[in-house]
Copies of this chain bind each other. A is one copy, B any other.
Amino acid sequence: MPEKLTPHQRRVLEVLFSTPHEFSAQDLHKEFKKRQQRVGLATVYRALKVLQKCGKVQIRSLPNGEAVYSLASAHRHHLTCVSCGISIPLKNCPVHELEQELVQTQEFQVFYHTLEVFGLCQNCIEVDVLARRKGIRQA
């Protein structure tokens, strides 16, 4: 899907290219400030929306309600703790080979998939156990 990008859309891609990290829209906005580039927050959101629609950028929603973005080609999955929200990246993707056959029967153009595993991280399990020992109910 060869799409003509605006300068700011290109800049967003450049930032995402430059590091393996995921960025929230606000992170990107701060990053541009740091780079002395004047880019409005709204523009960041608008750019991200376009880049999502053409499959270049993928989104992941965190438990705290904010969304983080990365290159769709940077394929990562996570273990996410439903208690503290920590995300632990997985090393490999168990779905990739299955993706093609998975959607060949559907009329749908696939950009990317997200696989997220939810549960409790080691730390929160321990906190939970301690709390229960003290008879504390989780709020």
- A116 and B113: CB pair below 8 A? yes
Tell me the A85-106 residues at the B interface (CB within 8 Å). 88, 90, 94-95, 98-99, 102-103, 106
The one of B50, B118, B137 that contacts A112, using a Cβ cutoff of 8 Å: B118
Known contacts A50-B138, A94-B98, A138-B53; A106 and B79 CB within 8 A of each other:
yes
* A contact residues, range: 35 or more
- A118 and B125: CB pair below 8 A? no
- A108 and B83: CB pair below 8 A? no
A48: min CB distance to chain B, Å: 11
**A111 sits at the interface (CB 8 A):** yes
- B102 and A90: CB pair below 8 A? yes
